[in-house]
Structure 1
Amino acid sequence: MTVWQTLKLVGNVINLSTVAGALVGLIGRARFSRGPRGLFYATGYKLRFPVAGAFTIGNLVLTKHDRAYLDARPILVRHEERHSWQYFCLVGLPLLPLYCVGAAWSWLRTGCPASRNPFERLADLADGNYVEHPVQPFGRTLQQTFRRR
Structure 2
Amino acid sequence: MKWGHRLRQIVNVLDLATPLGLLIARASGSRLSRGPRGLIIAAGYGWSLPHAGAFTVGNVVLFRAPQGTAGHDPGLLGHEERHCSQYAYCLGLPFLLLYALCAGWSMLRSGNPASRNFFERQAGLAAGGYIDRGGRIPDFRSHKRNEA
Structure 1 and Structure 2 fold alike (TM over 0.5): yes
CA-CA distance at 1:11 after TM superposition: 1.0
Contact kept in structure 2, 1:18 and 1:59, CA below 8 Å = yes
What RMSD over aligned residues (CA atoms) do the two structures have, in Å? Answer: 1.2
Contact kept in structure 2, 1:70 and 1:77, CA below 8 Å = no
Query: What does the per-residue CA deviation read over 1:72-107, in whole Å, with 9 as the maximum and x for residues that have no partner?
Result: 301110000000000010110000011001001101
Contact kept in structure 2, 1:33 and 1:42, CA below 8 Å = yes
Unmatched segments (≥5 aa) in structure 1: 139-149
CA distance in 2, matches of 1:66, 1:36: 18
CA-CA distance at 1:44 after TM superposition: 0.7
CA-CA distance at 1:108 after TM superposition: 1.1
When Rg is computed on C-alpha atoms for both structures, the one with the higher figure is: 2
Contact kept in structure 1, 2:63 and 2:71, CA below 8 Å = no
Aligned equivalent of 2:123: 123
Contact kept in structure 2, 1:76 and 1:127, CA below 8 Å = yes
Matches within 5 A, 1:1-149: 1-137=1-137
Aligned residues: 138
- Normalising to structure 2: TM-score of the pair? 0.89
CA distance in 1, matches of 2:72, 2:33: 16
SS at match of 2:69: helix
Query: What does the per-residue CA deviation read over 1:1-36, in whole Å, with 9 as the maximum and x for residues that have no partner?
Result: 101101111110111100000111122111111011
User: Post-superposition, which runs of at least 4 consecutive aligned residues in structure 1 deviate over 2 A?
Assistant: 67-72
Contact kept in structure 1, 2:41 and 2:71, CA below 8 Å = no
- Normalising to structure 1: TM-score of the pair? 0.88
Contact kept in structure 1, 2:116 and 2:134, CA below 8 Å = no
